Amino acid sequence: MIAIIDYGVGNLRSVEKAFAYIGCEAIISSDPEFVLKADGVILPGVGAYSDAMDNLKKAGMVDVVKSVIADNRPFLGICLGMQLLFDHSEEGGNVPGLGVFKGTIKQLPLDMNLKVPHMGWNSLTISRDCPLFKGLPDNPYVYFVHSYYLDAENKDIVKAATNYGIEFDVAVGSGNVFATQFHPEKSGEVGLTILKNFKELL
């Protein structure tokens, strides 16, 4: 069973429905004890970084996330849920994150003659050693909605990148922890394949 962490940030139902579609039970929960007992955990998120960190703390989920990761259970961060795994974000100042990985969340440049937020479909350059990407075509297209991007300090954990005016990191993986800037639950067959691959890790 997969737990989808409910901390008041994000479109949780679309993640829940995507897992249901592939025949996998995923339950939305704000109960730390329930999340701690799950076989796998999803940390979704949309919105402001500082608000999300505040909500995680108020929900008692900061230590829960770190415990799940330390217990070596499959963990997937989505969109803002990926960004929160890193040291800090420029959004709203220099806001500290969970510090699971080293890196900074930076503002997409506003002088690129491209719309910010970055919203829509972009192709990926993927690492074939990432289990989430098993069975995907070369340069698969996925769906993005974000104004800030990841600059990971350790490029060895970066498993996918995209280009939107600049090239930046959009997926990471290390041990049992995976995360994507894009939304698998909104990315059609490619996204469903990614979620199926995550399910196989349980």
Global pTM reads 0.98
Task: Express each pLDDT in 150-159 by its tens digit.
Answer: 999 999 999 9
pLDDT at 26: 98
Entry field: residues in the chain? 202
Flag whether pLDDT at 140 surpasses 90: yes
pLDDT at 47: 92
- Mean pLDDT of the residues in the chain: 97
Element (H, E) at 166: strand 166-174
Task: Tell me the sheet residues that pair with 148.
Answer: 107
Give mean pLDDT, residues 114-127.
97
Give mean pLDDT, residues 23-27.
97
pLDDT at 134: 98
Residue appearing with tokens 């050693």: 129
Give mean pLDDT, residues 3-31.
96
pLDDT at 172: 98
Flag whether pLDDT at 93 surpasses 90: no
Q: Are 27 and 40 in contact (CB under 8 A)?
A: no
pLDDT at 92: 86
Residue 186 CA to its chain's centroid (Å):
13
Give mean pLDDT, residues 118-124.
98
Task: Express each pLDDT in 168-197 by its tens digit.
Answer: 999 999 999 999 999 999 999 999 999 999
- Hey, which residues are catalytic here? 79, 183, 185
CA dist., res. 50 & res. 69, Å (int): 22
Give mean pLDDT, residues 10-27.
95
Q: Which CATH class is domain 2-199?
A: alpha beta
pLDDT at 136: 98
How does 52-66 read in b/e, with b if 16+ C-beta sit within 10 Å?
bbebbeebebbebbe
Q: Where are the domains of the chain?
A: 2-199
Residue 11 banded pLDDT, cuts 50, 70, 90: confident
CA dist., res. 66 & res. 165, Å (int): 34
Name which residue leads in pLDDT, 94 or 64: 64
